[in-house]
């Protein structure tokens, strides 16, 4: 297992530190302007909707930086230190969650805001060597036609190449080397130092790390339990095919009769083929 960095060693490429640094409205607004090449009058943080509890898994979606420019555009910016192989689909999921924050209020589809989902990736997930990958929905049959759904997804790669602004290049250099070279990156670096010095944020980070470790432990335990259950169900199904009763099976596999009977009751619904996967899914 990879050793977790001490809080004092974290830099802007850590999603927790990034989200804290971006609580500085001035820095967040300027970063958006640099990435998108636009001027933004002002931004406002959407705290009430940041933890999206209506996610299908019931656990909610926590966005790193979720802001609104009050001119009809919302922005989500995420820092991603490693390639988790699912960022494109995660961007789709985040987009749907952002749209639902509007629709949940009873708004019509026409009220959906223009939106940007931005991932700052410390790896080139598309392997094409570009600094910037911008995606909008277009017609496959005629690429000159855009769908016009006002949804844009951007993936940034600090290790790419191509024509970019001087300030974006400076920002990428800071992400790579952690050394400020201009006014904006110096301000970012100062904010990182302040974030690392916050006792409150340190405690929050350590609590978050403990929760992540606990979730990983639970997942491993559940995986182990599922494996054992699958093995037992498979054995029971084989014996059911041979005409054994629940009592006989319990004796042969040395398991509690009540547990075996519960499995048999479910398994009988899938006779005579006994689909082990479906039986295990229903049990768990």
Instruction: Output the average pLDDT for the chain.
Output: 85
The average pLDDT across 239-248 equals 83
Q: Could you tell me if 225 and 117 lie in one domain?
A: no
pTM summary value:
0.72
Return the pLDDT at 224.
56
| Most confident region among 67-81, 125-139, 261-275 by mean pLDDT | 125-139
CB count within 10 Å of CB 54 equals 12
* pLDDT tens by residue, 109-141: 888 889 999 999 999 999 999 999 999 999 999
User: Is the pLDDT confidence value at 2 over 50?
Assistant: no
Burial class (CB in 10 A: 0-12, 13-18, 19+), 240: buried
* pLDDT(281) > 50: yes
14 and 81 share one domain: yes
Flag the least confident range among 77-91, 188-202, 267-281.
267-281
CA dist list (Å): 280 to 173, 229, 249, 272 = 51, 7, 17, 16
Q: Would residue 205 count as lying in a domain?
A: no
Same domain flag for 163 and 223: no
Residue 161 DSSP class? B
Residues 116 and 45 in one domain: yes
2 occurs within a structural domain: no
> How many structural domains is the chain composed of?
2
| 274: pLDDT strictly greater than 90 | no
CB 237 within 8 A of CB 268: no
pLDDT at 1 exceeding the cut of 60: no
For residues 77 and 20, give the distance between their C-alpha atoms in angstroms, rounded to a whole number.
12
Do the domain assignments include residue 68?
yes
What is the domain range of residue 265? 214-283
Among residues 197, 223, 248, which one ends one of the domains? 197
Q: Are residues 112 and 31 in the same domain?
A: yes
Between CA 91 and CA 88 the distance in angstroms is: 5
- Please indicate, yes or no, if residue 256 is contained in any of the structural domains: yes
What does the alpha-carbon distance between residue 188 and residue 122 come to, in Å, rounded to a whole number? 17
Around Cβ 190, how many Cβ atoms within 10 Å? 14
Among residues 136, 163, 197, the one where a domain terminates is 197
Whole-number pLDDT of residue 49: 45
Residue 1 maps to a domain:
no
* Residue 94 Cα to chain centre, angstroms: 8
Residues 84 and 184 in one domain: yes
- Whether 144 and 246 map to the same domain: the answer is no
The dihedrals phi and psi of 136, each to the nearest 5 degrees, come to: -135, 155
Strand-pair partners of 65: 77
Residue 50: which H helix or E strand, with range?
none
Q: What is the pLDDT of residue 158?
A: 97
Summarize pLDDT for 181-236 with one digit per residue, the tens.
999 999 999 999 999 999 999 988 888 777 666 555 555 555 556 677 888 888 88
């Amino acid at each position: 297992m990879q050793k977790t960095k001490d809080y004092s060693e974290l830099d802007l490429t850590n999603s927790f530190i990034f989200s804290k640094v971006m609580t500085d409205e001035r820095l967040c607004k300027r970063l958006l302007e640099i990435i998108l090449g636009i001027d933004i009058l002002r931004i406002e943080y959407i705290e009430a909707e940041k933890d999206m509890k209506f996610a299908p898994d019931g656990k909610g979606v926590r966005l790193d930086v979720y802001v609104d420019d009050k001119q009809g555009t919302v922005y989500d910016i995420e820092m991603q230190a490693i390639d988790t192989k699912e960022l494109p689909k995660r961007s789709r999921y985040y987009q749907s969650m952002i749209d639902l924050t509007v629709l949940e209020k009873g708004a019509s589809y026409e009220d959906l805001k223009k939106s940007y989902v931005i991932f700052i990736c410390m790896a080139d997930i598309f392997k094409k060597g570009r600094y910037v990958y911008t995606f909008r929905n277009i017609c496959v049959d005629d690429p000159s036609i855009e769908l016009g759904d006002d949804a844009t997804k951007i993936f940034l790669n600090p290790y790419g190449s191509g024509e970019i602004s001087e300030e974006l290049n400076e920002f990428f250099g800071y992400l790579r080397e952690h050394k400020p070279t201009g006014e904006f990156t110096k301000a970012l670096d100062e904010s990182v130092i302040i974030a690392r010095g916050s006792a409150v944020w340190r405690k929050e980070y350590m609590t978050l790390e403990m929760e992540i470790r606990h979730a990983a432990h639970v997942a491993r335990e559940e995986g182990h339990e599922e494996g054992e259950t699958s093995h037992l169900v498979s054995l029971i199904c084989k014996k059911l095919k041979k005409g054994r009763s629940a009592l006989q099976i319990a004796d042969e596999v040395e398991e509690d009769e009540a547990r075996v009977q519960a499995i048999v009751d479910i398994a009988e619904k899938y006779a005579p083929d006994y689909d082990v996967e479906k039986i295990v899914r229903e049990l768990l």
